[in-house]
Amino acid sequence: MEEEIKSFLQYLEKERKYSSNTLASYRNDLYQLNSYLGSKRGSHIKKQSPQREINAAVLAGYMRSLRERKYTSSTVARKVAAVKSFIKYLTEKGRLRDDLTPQLASPHVGKLRPKPLAIAEINRLLTEPTKSDSVEASRDKAMLELLYATGLRASELVGLNVKDVDFKFCRIRCAGGSARARIIPLTPQIIKLLKDYMNGARLQLINDEEEIALFVNHRGSRLTRQGFWKIIQGYAEKIGLKNEVTPRALRHSYAIHSLRKGADLEAVQQLMGHSHISTTRAYKQVKIDT
């Protein structure tokens, strides 16, 4: 089964262009399924093909094992989604004769309404880096302003490369987690911030002139999503909003504030990379403070 899992993960990476974070989740979830199959098979029995190992009874047992572990509904739903995708892949490749996905019922997961920051809170957050003249503060100002101006995901922000910034046409190219890249327009103000950062702070931070990452850490290499999260938390703590400010909160705030200002719903959907317009429409129902 391990070979089939590796093949599936390569398919997601090469053909579906899944992000590294999504691939890591799929890998963990599918190897958990593989461990369960091994426990049912027994170590003394030779490994078998998916056709022999996976059936309705086995999947029902696997579902029971997830419930017994007291996982949250959202975690179970994620694991079930991974297994469903894997089974569909095996079926399409002829490794399984029957589509067994109907045997995997996902638990209902209530959607939490996105909680935006108030406009005054956003202004305080964006102003905080300007209180320092360090190169890191210059970088942080550019990152926070760009995030709030575009609604990028944190993984998309730190994944940007220098070549993704188009200064001539005032836009950036975001590869995202899907096969189709998004082209996102930028205001002249954001373009100026990025240009100042790239010509100033970034040059002081990098150690290798061939570094392609747009945003780098103090060692000169690409900033990680965890590193960016810590940066946001640091500024949030300074303004007294440690528990409320996250990269996702800024993404939600961008969408909600844009729609409140009269932005077109479909335009916001495309800019944020939502697969379904219903996801974007939910932001119109959220109340915001000034």
Q: Which has more confidence, 166 or 68?
A: 166
Mean pLDDT of 105-134: 80
Q: SS3 for 91?
A: helix
**What's the average model confidence in pLDDT over 274-282?**
77
pLDDT of residue 232: 92
Residue 48's pLDDT band, with cuts at 50, 70 and 90, is: low
Residue 179 above 60 pLDDT?
no
pLDDT of 91 strictly over 50: yes
H or E element: which one contains 166?
Answer: strand 165-166
24 or 142, which is more confident? 142
The mean pLDDT of the chain is: 84
| pLDDT of 47 above 60 | no
Q: Which residue has the tokens 């098979």?
A: 41
Lowest mean pLDDT among 84-98, 180-194, 201-215: 84-98
Phi, psi of 257 (to 5 degrees): -65, -35
Please give the Cα distance from 49 to 146 (Å, whole number). Answer: 49
CB-count exposure of residue 120 (10 Å: 0-12, 13-18, 19+): exposed
Q: Strand 165-166 to strand 182-185: parallel, antiparallel, or no bridges (unpaired)?
A: unpaired
pTM of the model: 0.60
Percent of the chain with pLDDT over 90: 38
**d(Cα 172, Cα 58) in Å, to the nearest integer?**
47
The answer to whether 23 touches 9, Cβ cutoff 8 Å, is yes
Q: Which domains can be identified in the chain, with CATH numbers? A: 2-103 (1.10.150.130), 119-285 (1.10.443.10)
State which of 92-96, 142-146, 179-183 shows the largest mean pLDDT: 142-146
Question: Which residue would you say has higher pLDDT here, 60 or 50?
Answer: 60
Residue 135 contacts residue 204 (beta carbons within 8 Å): yes
pLDDT: which is higher, 214 or 70: 214
pLDDT at 94 over 80: yes
Judged against a pLDDT cut of 90, whether residue 108 lies above it is answered with no
Max CA distance (Å), the chain: 66
* pLDDT per residue as tens digits for the range 200-247: 999 999 999 999 999 999 999 999 988 999 999 999 999 998 667 888
Q: Is the pLDDT of residue 111 over 70?
A: no
pLDDT reported for residue 43: 47
